[in-house]
Chain A
Amino acid sequence: MTDRGELNPANTRADIEACEHRVLGALERAGYSEAARFAVRLSLEEALVNAFMHGHRGLPPSTPVHVQYTITPEAVRISITDQGPGFDPARVPDPTSDENLELPSGRGLMLMRAYMTSVHHEDHGRTLVMTYDRGHAERAQAEAS
């Protein structure tokens, strides 16, 4: 069973929540655990907020990002493409280093990397692709506990 969808949320809380609701509903139907849904919800929230706050800086809030998702019982793949100028993800500073720990911003990308199985950028940073592999996540959880 594969659940696929595309959405074009604008920078409003209602659009962001509708997007999260759709993806989380698909996860629930595919039998993902509460921990998995927490991970994906948090990552999707951070990815959307980053796309609007950084990617769409200076653009009207009505400018949508393009979200595509594919959910199977084994894995989740979500891509978010913004209409901004792109960026170099390698230049995002490490927010956990001593000199950055007290800076109020810069944690979104690291949270996505911590909660998802993989996170990478395409098209000069305009597209973020993240995956959640159920088997990988369950093995990691078993090892951690």
Chain B
Amino acid sequence: MPASESRLKVKREASIIEVGFRDRNILDEANIQQIGEEIKALLAAEAQPKLLINFADVDHLSSAALGQLITINNQIRALKGQLRLSNIDPQIFQVFVITKLNKLFEIHDSAEKARASFR
């Protein structure tokens, strides 16, 4: 798989950038790094970005992926933007609870609810 192939599905609706994943498993270090770079590039073009990361169809997530989410959260905060997560599988949500990252991220059951929550 060439490294240049996007790992993301990107949708824009009004001022909201919605990002989904092409992979069911977000484990591979190189892919995680690429996801981080792709999202960083999307954010760079925005003032106060509103980013929704939709985890529909994601089955597995490693701690390295959680680390990448924290980095993205820090980048968005620096830009005075907003980040929402949605559609997280219950087993993966448990990973957020164990690591207490459910307190750091604003997580919604559905993309609709997440979109409606942007200020």
Residues of A within 8 A of B (CB): 13, 35, 38, 41-42, 45-46, 49, 53, 95-96, 101-105, 107-108, 110-111, 114
Contacts and interface: CB of A to CB of B under 8 A. Distances in A.
Nearest to B30: A13
Contacts of A101: 100-101, 103-104
B98 A114 contact: yes
B100 A96 contact: yes
A110 B98 contact: yes
Contacts of A103: 70
B15 interface: no
Given A35-B91, A45-B27, A111-B99, A102 B63 contact: no
B109 interface: no
A96 to B, nearest CB: 4
A126 B114 CA distance: 43
Contact of A111 (B28, B29, B63, B68): B63
Contact of A49 (B60, B62, B66, B104): B62
A35 B98 CA distance: 15
A41 B71 contact: no
B95 interface: yes
B74 A102 contact: yes
B10 interface: no
A114 B29 CA distance: 22
B98 A104 contact: no
Contacts of B104: 101-102
B102 to A, nearest CB: 11
14 contacts: A35-B91, A41-B60, A42-B62, A45-B60, A49-B62, A96-B99, A102-B74, A104-B67, A104-B68, A104-B71, A105-B64, A107-B66, A107-B67, A114-B98
Given A45-B60, A102-B104, 6 more contacts: A101-B100, A104-B68, A107-B66, A107-B67, A110-B99, A111-B63
Contacts of B67: 104-105, 107
